[in-house]
Amino acid sequence: MNFSAFFSYTFLTAYTPGPNNIMSMTNAGRDGFKRSIPFFGGIFSGFVIVMSACAAFSTLLYEYIPSIKPAMIYIGAAYILYLAWTVWRDKPHKSNGITHANSFLSGMLLQFVNIKIILYGITAMSSYVLPHYHDIATIGMFALLLAVIGTSGCLCWAVFGAVFENLFNKYRKAINAIMALLLVYCAISLFL
């Protein structure tokens, strides 16, 4: 296996903008890093489940991608646009609680409609892992590694959001507009 190509692909994919990273940065900037931990737990849990499914069903998905992909693209785009709307309409608040968009369940559900990580998992498994490894334990470890790498990208974006929290609070409307537009771009790019 070409590990340099595998790690280049996985880290570049995990650290480029996408729904997980943008929502992680927004949530940590709005609520703080510590209050965003449930969201990251949800992201990681969802990542593990999705990466395991990608590993287990990679060969079957190739047969059925023409029928699955359009539905997942529309569902994913709709959810990403909903997230963009949520970010756009966000208003300053003094709540000490966790917002709905910053919950464990929200982080986990995002993974099931996030085409970027589904394609990330299918591509990594089918191009790098499955041609070289066939035992369940090794494939399971690669699924876990993909989840860890993907979540690490979200955590980096969240640290950035938390570090610049005061800046985000000062320029909330402009930053929310930029983040919402990036999410809209993510949704539109699904169809390009």
Task: Examine the pLDDT at 155 and tell me if it is beyond 90.
Answer: yes
Q: What are 170-183's pLDDT values in tens digits? A: 887 888 888 788 87
Q: What are 3-56's pLDDT values in tens digits? A: 888 888 888 888 877 889 888 988 888 888 899 999 999 999 999 999 999 888
Which tokens sit at 153? 């990208």
User: What predicted TM-score, i.e. pTM, was given to this entire model?
Assistant: 0.73
Q: What are 47-95's pLDDT values in tens digits? A: 999 999 988 877 566 556 667 667 766 776 777 787 778 778 876 555 4
d(CA 69, CA 181): 24
- Measured in degrees and rounded to the nearest 5, phi and psi for residue 116 equal -60, -45
**Rounded (5°) CA angle 52-159-173:** 110
